[in-house]
Structure 1
Amino acid sequence: MEFSGGEITAKRSDPGGDLALQPAGTFARLTELVLIKAWFHGPSALGDLVSSPRCPSLLKLVSPFVTPLGWSISPSTRSLSFKWSCGILLNCSTPQLVSLELSDPYVPSSIQLGNMELLQRLATSFFLVYGPEGFPINHTILELLTRFRGIQDLTLNLAFPRVIGHDQYLMEDITIIPRISFLTLVVMNYGHAFGASLFHVLKKCTGLRSLSLHFEVILEVGS
């Protein structure tokens, strides 16, 4: 199967049915691939699809709600976005990558990031502002941030619990933030004060030129 265009659209009308691609062939000019709520049979199924031999020109891959995942990304890929992808297993050695969005926790044993000297934009999963000491997801974000000395654009998500109670203040765990020019801060705070958290992040930023604040709308049941 040869594909000469730049876009593929595949729709499945039967929620319980399967949509399959032929096992051989190339998508020589495919530059962008979006997979939503896709299920792959076997850990290497998607890896075979987006590998360099089949998608040599792939520049952008977006995969929200995809499971299971296990593949190596084409070195030509410039943008990756993963959102709530269950069981992700990723080997990412993409020196041309400029944008990386990980809504899943960064776990080095399952998400192996190689050389990314050209990375300009990074978006992380949520950082819990108040919670138990050593909260695992917070640790994964801190480990991800330490991988980069400088990037142009960083998106951080700060999440407050609905009820703080006796939870510990965890922002002090953030001791290093890469050198950045643009910061997007997404706050989910249930009405709690967030000024101290904001200023803690700003104190860790060097060379910051622009700050963008976004607030997640939280709808209460019955409202």
Structure 2
Amino acid sequence: MGPCGGEIAAMRPNPPSSDADAGEDRLSALPDDILVLILLRLGTSAAGQTSVLSRRWRVVWALLPELIFPHAREPNRIRDALEAHQAALRRLSVEIQSASPDSVAAWLLVAARRLAGRLKFRNLVPQGNDAVEDEDTDEVEVKEDEEGCEQRGSFELPCFESATAVSLDLGFLGLSVPAAGVCSRLTKLSLSRARFDGPCELGDAISSPRCPFLTKLSVRDSEGLTILTINSRSLLRVNLRGLRGLRRLAIEAPVLARLTVSHSFFFGHDQPVASISAPQLEWLLWLDSYEPSSMHLDKMERIERLAPFLFFVYGGQRSISNNQSCLRLLQHFKVIETLILSLIYLEGLDNCSYLMDDMTVLPGITNLHLRVIANGHAFGASTFHVLRMCSGIRLLNLKLEMEAQTACSFGCICGQHAHWKTEELVLYCLQEVEITGLMGSECEISFVKQLLNWATVLKKLTVIFEHSVAENEAKEFCQMLRSFSRLEICTEFHGCKGTS
């Protein structure tokens, strides 16, 4: 028998005795760690707004382990938020439009005390103040940008005693490095678009006594860093790119595995000086000027991957000078596993000489990554020249950048070197080829056909079409390629719908 009416009434919950009971805040009764997880999903701005809900919520947001300020308009509010924050920060991310040095220094000093994890800051400056990366950039515009930055002043970088990773994109704000302080937990440091100022060397601040556990260092698109001396027992990777004005570089890093130096010495007028001691180095990407008389590379017997400065296929005296940096570095190494080589054609070849004959020897290599920036010109002769000097390679990765919009003019000198089509070449170890950026042009078809004849033991050919190639054009090229390929070669086509 079911319960009677009186029993049913007794089982019903009692109605609220007051309006206060009806509005009971069960969410606020949750423990802090649960509330913090909820606020993390809301985002920093919304989480901060919950502080007006009640006395209980006033301090919950201050326990967040992560604070993210995208496109912040009022830097002072970032400082106030950090001052009120109570927990150790495992992540802080800030983006500000055209920040001033004083405003950055104000909140960055507080952040250095609070941070126990990662910091990422980006100063979003107008397009006209971007980094100057092209040697052909108008000199007047560069001067205006530099003068504007100098008028805005500079600030001193605080010591991040407990941070683990710091990434600062300063938009060419002036930066001075502290003369003292130890970053005892810092493992990653990235500085970009900085204008270094002040007497203290960056190398002093990032070497082992003050950054004992730093493993990754990146300094990019910056100026004012004329001398960089690094002595680190912990660094594994160093990336130096676009450091205009760098004239002296010294690195002593016994466990360094990867080093990139790019477009830093190249634009200077006086002879640069470098000394690199890295006996465990495996990757060397030296995309810059190299002069053995003033640049010393210590024994690097473990080098596996080498990338020299790009090589101009045609050019004048300036191109010849540039090519010498590439050739000198190649001559420094006898045997390496992987060579990354870039060949570039100028758009206009009038009054230019063929320069490939200056390249007479390559290290003994197993894998070749060849990038050809053809700018619409015929590239068969230059590529054949390189392959002839490394006929024992097992893997070829060919990346083509043809620039279809810049068609080669009729009678261009790039067509005068057609001997490669008839000369013999046997790539007797080549088993795998990958070609990226294929567009199906006549010169490409001729080259691929010859390559299949040269590679007598080829097992796999992968073709990745340039993204603008239409599907029907890709299918037509696939059929043509199969007509002169061998049955034992596994061919794959990618990049266009219906051709994979």
TM-score, reference length from structure 2: 0.40
Partner of residue 338 from structure 2, selected from 146, 153, 156 = 153
Structure 1 pair 195–116 and aligned structure 2 pair: CA distance change class (3 A): same
CA radius of gyration, larger in? 2
- Contact 1:155–1:185 (Cα < 8 Å) also in 2: yes
1:20-44 Cα shifts (integer Å, max 9, x gaps): 4322344566555444333434898
Letter in 1 for 2:201: A
Higher helix proportion (structure 1 or 2): 2
**Paired residue for 2:245?**
68
CA distance in 2, matches of 1:219, 1:21: 47
40-49 or 111-120, larger mean C-alpha shift? 40-49
Tell me which residue corresponds to 1:82. Answer: 261
User: 1:186-205 CA distances to partner (integer Å, 9 max, x unpaired)?
Assistant: 11111111111111111111
Aligned equivalents of 2:187, 2:402: Cα separation in 1: 34
Spell out, residue by residue over 1:170-196, the C-alpha distance to the aligned partner (whole angstroms, 9 max, x if none). Answer: 111111100111111111111111111
- Cα distance, 1:210 vs structure 2: 0.8
Alignment of 1:101-112 (within 5 A): 101-112=285-296
Secondary structure at 2:342 match in 1:
strand
Residue by residue over 1:101-146, the C-alpha shift from the partner in whole angstroms, topping out at 9 and shown as x without a partner, is: 1221212355331111111111121101112368111112111101
- How far the C-alpha of 1:206 sits from its partner, in A, is 4.8
Query: RMSD of aligned C-alpha atoms?
Result: 2.9
Q: Secondary structure at the match of 1:91?
A: strand
**Identity between Structure 1 and Structure 2 (%):** 38
Q: Within 2, Cα distance between the matches of 1:179 and 1:6?
A: 41
User: Residue 19 in 1 paired to residue 175 in 2?
Assistant: yes
| Distance in 1 (alpha carbons) for counterparts of 2:202 and 2:384 | 42
Using the alignment, how far apart are the partners of 1:192 and 1:126 within structure 2? 17
- The alignment covers a number of residue pairs equal to 219
Unpaired segments of 5 or more residues in structure 1? none
> What is the match of residue 45 of structure 1?
201
- Inter-CA distance 156–31: structure 2 relative to 1 (3 Å threshold): farther
SS of structure 2 residue aligned to 1:66: strand
Deviation string for 1:47-75 (max 9, x for gaps)? 32443444431111112222333332132
Name the SS of the counterpart of 2:323 in structure 1.
Answer: helix
1:206 to 1:4, Cα distance in 2 relative to 1, 3 A: farther
In 1, the alpha carbon distance for the partners of 2:348 and 2:334 equals 35
Q: 1:165-204 alignment to 2 at 5 Å?
A: 165-204=350-389
* Distance in structure 2 (CA, Å) of the matches to 1:202 and 1:123: 16
> 1:94 is matched with which residue?
278
User: 1:215 Cα deviation (Å)?
Assistant: 2.5
Q: For residues 292 and 389 of structure 2, what CA distance do their matches in structure 1 show?
A: 24
Given the two structures, how large is their TM-score scaled by the length of structure 1? 0.83
- Contact 2:288–2:325 (CA<8 Å) still a contact in 1? no
Inter-partner Cα distance in structure 2 for 1:9 and 1:109: 35
Task: State which of 126, 151, 160 in structure 1 corresponds to 2:310.
Answer: 126
* Higher relative contact order, structure no. (Cα contacts within 8 Å, ≥ 6 residues apart): 1
